[in-house]
Amino acid sequence: MRLISQIAGRFGIAIGEKEALQAIPVIGAIGGATINLVFIDHFQDVAKGHFAVRRLERTYGSEVVRAEYAAI
C-alpha cells in the first residue's frame, strides 16, 4: 500500500486507499508479463545458440566443433 502511494506521489497522482488496493492485481499482472518476456527472450537466445551449434556439428562433425569451442 505504501509502495503504491509513493509511486503515485512521484507522478503527482492523488490516489486513495481503495484505488491503491484495486491497482495491486494490475501491478502484479504487469510484473508477471515483464518476467515472462525476459524469460522468453532468454530462452529464445539459448535456442538460437543451440541450433547453430547443432548445424555446425552436422556440417563439420561434433569433434571439430567441440575442439574449436574448447580453443575459444
Q: Does the pLDDT value for residue 62 go beyond 70?
A: yes
pLDDT digits 0-9 by tens, 25-50: 988 999 999 999 999 999 999 999 99
Q: What is the pLDDT of residue 3?
A: 73
Q: What is the mean pLDDT of residues 3-25?
A: 72
Q: So where are the chain's domains?
A: 2-71
CA 60, 62, 50 angle in degrees (round to 5)?
100
Helices (H) and strands (E) in the chain, counts: 3, 0
What confidence score (pLDDT) does residue 33 get?
Answer: 96
Contacts of residue 65, defined as CB under 8 A and 6 or more positions apart, other chains included, come to: 53, 56, 57
Give me the pLDDT at residue 1, please: 62
pLDDT at position 21 is: 77
Higher per-residue confidence, 14 vs 57: 57
Which three cell numbers mark 36? 515472462
